[in-house]
Amino acid sequence: MKTGFRTVRLEFSIIETEIKHTQGVCGGDARIRNTRIPVWTLVSLRQQGATDRDQLDAYPSLIQSDLEAAWKYYQHHQGEIDQAIASQDDD
């Protein structure tokens, strides 16, 4: 069970993107900054063939460094994100 609040900061040049876990927001799953866009959603779309440009067009509040942070987060937390994707497939 996820409790509390956890922030992971990933820095890319001048722009800093935060990956946050907040209980009660997006089911506590990792999300981009203060959005309600879960990392698992972006990873799932990428796995389905969506390009970065496709995702930036679909989510205009995101910037390239947000996607880079999501991909980096996935590299280090693949099991967590894969489990979140699988749990969505079960619904």
The pLDDT tens digits of the residues spanning 59-71 come to 999 999 999 999 9
Fold of 5-90: Arc Repressor Mutant, subunit A (1.10.10)
The alpha carbon dihedral of 7, 74, 86, 42 has a sign of positive
The pLDDT tens digits of the residues spanning 23-80 come to 999 999 999 998 999 999 999 999 999 999 999 999 999 999 999 999 999 999 999 9
Helices 78-90 and 39-47, packing angle to 10 deg: 80
Helices (H), the chain: 39-47, 52-58, 64-76, 78-90
